């Protein structure tokens, strides 16, 4: 049997079953969120255009009577009935969001306008999954929600970084202008089963390379840092924020404050996979942040949330997922 990480306590479910819309519902985080919402008794409508997701992530849910999957691009309006909206739709890894940067910006901006319009019509509570990328290459460490960021507005990552910053602007303008009940989460690096092997994220890349016996690709000198949050913890945080008091709008950082260098992560992956791959160094990509670690003081205080799964414990089931996935 695969080793499983210690499961954190689930966020308390809402008082009654809701009909919940999850955009990007077949993606990595979205698919896990859909499962948790179904387990809490809600009806779930997942919407996805499958640009950077996989239908296989939710294939086992298609027989669930309370689950529905719609192929739809959120840059076009959507007319459905729902009580809550988790707005996750957007390619979140550089491989995908840089492939079509104009479409990425449209997804962030037009997609948010369409979902906010839907929420306004229905009076539905809506949560945006923003990103730690709004902090850019930070000069403040760790990053708290009061930090305005250090973002290059014309770089190759700007379609995503500035797109999410604009999405946050739209959410708070709808809140101020229309009193729309909003929630904004700033998600830091998240990992776990259902990641795509070709998404270019460092955890999935290292694992796939280690399992294939290929060199682990480290950009720069490997001393740049990231913080890694296991998917179960992240889903707990999103649900806790959605069901928090109305005056809690965010933005609120969700992530694991334990900080690791890329070389430390590479060594952990090699130890868990049993691999002996060498490390191959390549030039650092443009605008790649040197350090990234969330200050989660607000999440702890306001939501009573903090991550429970240690990196080693989360890497084990993630490695086993990729081992099975790559074996076909």
Contact in structure between 255 and 226 (CB atoms under 8 Å): no
**Domain architecture of the chain: domains with CATH:** 19-327 (3.40.50.720)
The helix (H) or strand (E) run that includes residue 282 is: strand 279-282
Pairing of strands 225-227, 259-261: antiparallel
Say if residue 18's pLDDT is above 80.
Answer: yes
Mean residue pLDDT across the chain: 91
Report residue 55: phi and psi, to 5°.
-60, -30
The helix (H) or strand (E) run that includes residue 108 is: helix 101-122
d(CA 237, CA 298): 12
The arithmetic mean of pLDDT across residues 242-271, rounded, is 96
| pLDDT tens digit sequence for 221-242 | 889 889 999 999 999 999 999 9
d(CA 196, CA 33): 16
pLDDT at 1: 34
pLDDT at 200: 82
Distances (CA, A) of 44 to 14, 190, 217, 267: 14, 22, 38, 39
| pLDDT tens digit sequence for 52-79 | 888 999 999 999 999 999 999 999 999 9
Of the pLDDT bands very low, low, confident and very high (cuts 50, 70, 90), residue 15 is low
In the 8-state DSSP scheme, what is residue 219? E
The arithmetic mean of pLDDT across residues 168-185, rounded, is 98
Six token digits for residue 246: 């109305």
| pLDDT tens digit sequence for 267-310 | 999 999 998 899 999 887 776 777 889 999 999 999 999 999 99
Rounded to the nearest 10 degrees, how much is the dihedral formed by the CA atoms of 142, 147, 153, 155? 0
Six token digits for residue 123: 């009076």
Say if residue 13's pLDDT is above 50.
Answer: no
Got the DSSP string for 165-223?
HHHHHHHHHHHHHH---EEEEEE--EE-TT--TTS--HHHHHHHHHHHTPPEEEETTS-
Q: Residues 6 or more apart from 251 whose CB is under 8 A from it?
A: 130, 145, 168, 184, 185, 186
Contact in structure between 33 and 190 (CB atoms under 8 Å): no
SS3 185: strand
Distances (CA, A) of 79 to 50, 181, 283: 19, 19, 46
SS3 77: coil
Catalytic residue numbers, as ranges: 160
Contact in structure between 68 and 110 (CB atoms under 8 Å): no
Kindly provide the residue ranges of all beta strands, DSSP E only, lying in 176-244, ordered along the sequence.
182-187, 190-191, 216-219, 225-227, 229-230
Percent of the chain with pLDDT over 70: 95
SS3 152: coil
The more confident residue out of 311 and 2 is 311
pLDDT at 97: 81
Say if residue 176's pLDDT is above 80.
Answer: yes
pLDDT at 275: 87
Predicted model pTM: 0.91
SS3 155: coil
Q: Which of 9, 86, 21, 320 is nearest to 195 (CA)?
A: 320
d(CA 266, CA 268): 5
Contact in structure between 110 and 77 (CB atoms under 8 Å): no
The arithmetic mean of pLDDT across residues 104-124, rounded, is 97
């Amino acid at each position: 049997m695969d080793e499983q990480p210690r499961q954190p306590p689930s966020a308390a479910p809402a008082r009654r079953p809701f009909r919940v819309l999850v955009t990007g519902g077949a993606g990595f985080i979205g698919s896990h969120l859909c499962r948790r919402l179904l387990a809490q008794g809600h009806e779930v409508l997942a919407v996805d255009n499958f640009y950077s997701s996989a239908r296989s992530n939710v294939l086992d849910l298609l027989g669930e009577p309370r689950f529905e999957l719609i192929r739809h691009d959120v840059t076009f309006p959507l007319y459905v009935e729902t009580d809550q909206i988790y707005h996750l739709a957007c390619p979140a890894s550089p491989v995908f969001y840089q492939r079509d940067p104009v479409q990425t910006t449209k997804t962030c901006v037009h997609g948010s306008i369409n979902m906010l319009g839907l929420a306004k019509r229905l009076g539905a509570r809506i949560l945006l999954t923003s990103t730690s990328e709004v902090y850019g290459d930070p000069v403040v460490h760790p990053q708290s929600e009061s930090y305005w960021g250090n973002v290059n507005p014309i770089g190759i990552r700007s379609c995503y970084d500035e797109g999410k910053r604009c999405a946050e602007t739209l959410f708070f303008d709808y809140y101020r202008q229309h009193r729309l009940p909003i929630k904004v989460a700033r998600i830091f690096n998240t990992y776990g089963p259902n990641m795509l092997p070709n998404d270019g994220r460092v955890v999935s890349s290292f694992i796939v390379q280690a399992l294939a016996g290929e060199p682990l690709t480290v950009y720069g000198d490997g001393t740049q840092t990231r913080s890694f949050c296991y998917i179960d913890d992240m889903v707990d945080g999103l649900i806790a924020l959605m069901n928090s008091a109305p005056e809690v709008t965010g933005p609120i950082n969700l992530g694991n404050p334990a900080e690791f260098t890329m070389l430390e992560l590479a060594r952990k992956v090699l130890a868990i996979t049993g691999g002996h791959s060498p490390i191959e160094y390549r030039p650092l990509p443009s605008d790649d942040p040197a350090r990234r670690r969330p200050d989660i003081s607000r999440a702890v205080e306001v939501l009573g949330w903090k991550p429970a799964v240690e990196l080693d414990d989360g890497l084990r089931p993630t490695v086993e997922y990729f081992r099975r996935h790559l074996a076909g």
